[in-house]
Amino acid sequence: MARKVTNTRKAVVTVIAWGIGLLIFFPILWTILMSFHAEGDAIKNPLEMLMSPWSFASYAEVQTRSNYSLHFFNSVVISVGSTILALIIAIPAAWAMAFVPGRRTKDLLMWMLSTKMMPAVGVLIPMYLGFKNIGLLDTRTGLVAVMTLINLPIVVWMLYTYFKEIPGEILEAARMDGASLRSEILYVLTPMAVPGIASTMLLNVILAWNEAFWTLQLTTHDAAPLTQFIASYSSPEGLFYAKLSAASTMAIAPILILGWFSQKQLVRGLTFGAVK
């Protein structure tokens, strides 16, 4: 039974909430707006900039001046590739831990989580020198491998919490009805596991896309994803606001859209099931 809310109160809350929401969103909004104006107009004062004519020149410029599509491709390969690889390794593990739990399962899960707590600088030097020695610096292969390992604990954990929710009785029921092991997996378990796997995948693509320690350390150009590409705008090119805005907008747009679908999974994945 919801309490009755007066319309005046609702209107006041609406104004405040929209105000604060827009304020928080403003830096992103401003970047997008700026990307559609000419370079010369972008550095004028904010009102003049808004009044200036719209232009798509910055987008074209980013494409021609720097190899944007290469870095976009790298980002896709690294984030999607590492996520799929992690899923292949993690699905059997999470499956076994959820359906055939042993005495050690809990300790094992906690241990996996603890690897995530290790600060990256603790292993930066051996990784850097090792990659240099075997020629993996600035390669997509190297980055995919590192990202897979970084996100593996989260992937196992998320899948585990989803698989755990699949009721075991349904398997027994299927068996009673004479389902073979093959059809049991194919027609009973898979359909119930797919949503969990999809959410896990979504969150991990987002995390890998935005990862900005290893991508900055281990790549320079050839394998550089968008994080590194944007970092190269740090100076002095960063003073070209319209171009920086266009590059930034293109770098964040895909993940912003994916992110809107993943609010629930975000809480689950990043708190390891501690908040539901």
Chain positions 104 to 123 lying near other proteins, rule: CB under 8 A, are 106, 108-110, 112-123
Would you count residue 51 as binding other proteins (CB under 8 A)? no
Which of 31/67 has CB closer to other proteins? 31
Number of residues located near other proteins, criterion CB under 8 A: 98
Residues 201-230 that bind other proteins (CB under 8 A): 206, 209-210, 212-213, 216-217, 226-228, 230
In the set 62, 78, 87, 97, which binds other proteins (CB under 8 A)? 97
Would you count residue 102 as binding other proteins (CB under 8 A)? yes
In the set 38, 76, 93, 166, which binds other proteins (CB under 8 A)? 93
Would you count residue 167 as binding other proteins (CB under 8 A)? no
In the set 78, 143, 147, 152, which binds other proteins (CB under 8 A)? 152
Specify the stretch interacting with other proteins by CB under 8 A; choose among 28-36, 52-60, 65-73, 180-188: 28-36
> Residue written as tokens 């679908």?
261
Would you count residue 274 as binding other proteins (CB under 8 A)? yes
200 CB-near residues (< 8 Å, 6+ apart) = 87, 155, 158, 159, 162, 265, 269
